[in-house]
Amino acid sequence: MTTETLLRVENLKKHFPIRGGVLGKEIGSVKAVEGVSFEVKKGETLGIVGESGCGKSTTGRMLLRLIEPTDGKIYFEDQDVTELSTSDMRKLRRDMQMVFQDPFASLNPRHTVEKILEEPLKVHGIGTPKERKQKVRELLEIVGLSSYHAKRYPHQFSGGQRQRIGIARALMTQPKLIIADEPVSALDVSIQAQVLNLMQDLQKEFQLTYIVIAHDLGVVRHISDRVGVMYLGRMAELTESEKMYDKPLHPYTQALLSAVPIPDPLYEKDSIVLEGDIPSPSNPPSGCAFHTRCPYKMDVCTQKVPELREHEPGHYVACHLYTEEGSAAGQNKQLPEEGKHE
Amino acid sequence: MKTQEKVLDVKGLRVSFFTDEGEVPAVDDIDFYVREGEVLGIVGESGCGKSVTSLSVMGLIPNPPGKIIGGEIKLNGEELTTASEKRMRQIRGNEVAMIFQEPMTSLNPLFTIGSQLMDAMLIHKMGNKKQAKQRSIEMLKLVGLPRAEEMMSDYPHQLSGGMRQRVMIAMAMVCNPRLLIADEPTTALDVTIQAQILKLMRDLNEKMNTAIMMITHDLGVVAETCERIVVMYAGKVVETGPAVEIFKDPQHPYTRGLIQSVPDMRYKKQRLYSIPGNVPKPGSIKQGCRFADRCEFAFDRCRQEDPPLYKTAEGHSTRCFLFDEKEETVHDNRNTVKS
């Protein structure tokens, strides 16, 4: 892994308008992503976790401009992605590819595997038909299928095999960055492990950089070098994966980690069961969005949005417990115990 | 209070679906039981027959194409496979209740929460309208819903996923059943909400002494809630035993592989163990052990004969020839499995 930055995201925002009334005027907006910043280094895997509606998928799609950002900047190798024209963007997608969650819905049922895999090469005008067919066969072998599978249709494959096809398609153009949105959540446990191992093998072989978006914290820990936790459109905590799991700082991260069922009946954990539901992103709470469920809530939390700042080297957290205002206001508040989840 | 009394006792159950391609056995000769007040987990991957099993107990197998072709299902000693539809209606929701994976599609969007809750009681003649209302409100409070009185007149779309699942649980518990079947009750929910629902189910199990049959693919959920486990693979029970033992010392190569393939959040492994091959389609394997093709310990006998369940300890059995005492040749393999 190098220290070179491949992708930099600055203050990315997406507000989806809510239309209503007789004239279909905009009557509000869903603040799906509300100012997210992070960097991805060459060759690393950044995991983004969060619960439904936290904006993790929207963020992933904005990076490829499959959804247009409302505000903010995305730099891919120092090129501002948000400024590119549609045709330039299309060219750039050679280097940035996506693997989708649902292997049943993301492959065209009327096309053979060969046609599906050849498509990205055709779009980008790479190679002669013969070379392209050769490449399709090569990649099928690489992702653990056989070259004779090329003539088959998606319905003839199982879920795990389809996800392998999805990965092969993403690899066709030899991208630098792959954004995988819930790549294994639709798969059975035994198949999930196969696909995760494949992704790791491919990363080594082709020096890929991954952004893996997932809700399963076990999967994310397994595959990621660094992890970002999102809550209601904002990044709550961002750090190396080991630190995140051993010493989570943000109360939300702590609760999230403690909520994950551990496959060991003898394991005793301190479970922090959060009260209440995730608030709606169309009407987020004031201040820190987590204050409605936070066990360490202070007055300042309801008024001011905490910024994501570096608490320790490489460990970013957005929580008033770790800001000056917060610690001044909450002198007698007990800091959440650290290192609970060893 | 836990007794040895069996609330549910299933023996030799066979369920097949009759399709254009012929008979597809979904559940093939399975035995298991649920004791009073206990939590039993049924674990398996897609197509292993775990949901078909639960639907058979409820008498909800769509017929045609599905049919129970053999075996018995005894609920509190009463045989269900031969029970009339009229009797099943009395049993369902009253003695055994079920909650499903998707709380949105299991509630009727056109009726209020209150009317759906009261329906269950009125159908089973558990009291008059006033009593039903009273009890419904109590149940909503019991499952931890705030402002229960007002919620009676809410519609399902006004509630969040976690709240809907709580309503489903309230509805299932309203007639105080002795057995609750929960089919992937938390799969559609977020982790923090899942934790709330699992806690609620554990509390209800303790408070009301309701036995729970928890069907899931998530080994974490099983480890956290269940006392005993039944592991299913391709329509067969491959291993059954106390949860603690199964996680500590899984015997069947499939159980072992399954436990090892789960990324455990507590440690970072360099590489996950993965079971080779794919989950077989129901009915695709006709001869021998269903797992033989994917098993690293398989030998000739596994491909020819169907292994029976071998008892390996008190209350723990495994469907694998590695545990046949007569199999001298496999002793080395067996040690590898156990180590």
What ranges do the domains of chain A cover?
5-95+175-330, 106-174
**Predicted local confidence at residue A270, as pLDDT:** 72
DSSP symbols for B113-160: HHHHHHHHHHHTT-S-HHHHHHHHHHHHHHTT-SSHHHHTT--GGGS-
Q: What's the pLDDT band for A12 if we cut at 50, 70, 90?
A: very high
Using CA coordinates, name the residue in chain A closest to B159: A277
Determine, for residues B262 and A263 on separate chains, whether the beta-carbon distance falls below 8 Å. Answer: yes
**Predicted local confidence at residue A332, as pLDDT:** 45
Segment A200-213 shows an average pLDDT of 94
Q: What's the pLDDT band for A99 if we cut at 50, 70, 90?
A: very high
B163 contacts in chain A (CB < 8 Å): 277
Nearest chain B Cα distance for residue A138, angstroms: 20
Q: Say how far apart CA A92 and CA A86 lie, in whole Å.
A: 10
**Predicted local confidence at residue A284, as pLDDT:** 86
Segment A55-62 shows an average pLDDT of 92
Nearest chain B Cα distance for residue A304, angstroms: 25
Strand order in the sheet with A71-76: A25-41, A5-20, A71-76, A79-80
Q: Residues B118, B140: contact at Cβ < 8 Å?
A: no
**Predicted local confidence at residue A265, as pLDDT:** 86
Segment A192-207 shows an average pLDDT of 92
Segment A204-210 shows an average pLDDT of 94
Q: Say how far apart CA B241 and CA B316 lie, in whole Å.
A: 4
Name the residue facing A196 among B160, B221, B272 (closest C-beta). B272
Query: 10 Å Cβ neighbour count for B295?
Result: 21
CATH architecture of A5-95+175-330: 3-Layer(aba) Sandwich (3.40)
Segment A1-19 shows an average pLDDT of 86
**Predicted local confidence at residue B337, as pLDDT:** 58
Determine, for residues A274 and B162 on separate chains, whether the beta-carbon distance falls below 8 Å. Answer: no
Determine, for residues A274 and B196 on separate chains, whether the beta-carbon distance falls below 8 Å. Answer: yes
**Predicted local confidence at residue A328, as pLDDT:** 61
Determine, for residues A273 and B220 on separate chains, whether the beta-carbon distance falls below 8 Å. Answer: no
Segment A46-57 shows an average pLDDT of 90
Under-50 pLDDT residues of chain B: 1, 339
Determine, for residues B199 and A277 on separate chains, whether the beta-carbon distance falls below 8 Å. Answer: no
Mutating which of A188, A220, A256 best tests the B interface, going by the most B Cβ atoms within 10 A? A188
A215 contacts in chain B (CB < 8 Å): 190-191
Question: Does the pLDDT of residue A264 top 90, yes or no?
Answer: no
Segment A48-65 shows an average pLDDT of 90
**Predicted local confidence at residue A267, as pLDDT:** 84
B266 contacts in chain A (CB < 8 Å): 245, 262, 267, 341-342
Q: Residues B60, B91: contact at Cβ < 8 Å?
A: no
Q: What's the pLDDT band for A159 if we cut at 50, 70, 90?
A: confident
**Predicted local confidence at residue B143, as pLDDT:** 86
A193 contacts in chain B (CB < 8 Å): 261-263, 272-275
Name the residue facing A259 among B163, B192, B275 (closest C-beta). B192
Using CA coordinates, name the residue in chain A closest to B259: A263
Segment A115-130 shows an average pLDDT of 91
State CA B40 to chain mean position distance.
7
Segment A286-311 shows an average pLDDT of 91
Mutating which of B198, B216, B262, B269 best tests the A interface, going by the most A Cβ atoms within 10 A? B262
Domain with CATH 3.40.50.300 in chain B: 6-226
Name the residue facing B258 among A189, A215, A219 (closest C-beta). A189
**Predicted local confidence at residue A340, as pLDDT:** 42
The residue with greater pLDDT, B278 or A116, is A116
Q: Residues A62, A69: contact at Cβ < 8 Å?
A: yes
Predicted TM-score (pTM) of this structure: 0.85
According to CATH, the topology of domain B6-226 is Rossmann fold (3.40.50)
**Predicted local confidence at residue A342, as pLDDT:** 37
A155 contacts in chain B (CB < 8 Å): none
Radius of gyration of chain B (CA): 21
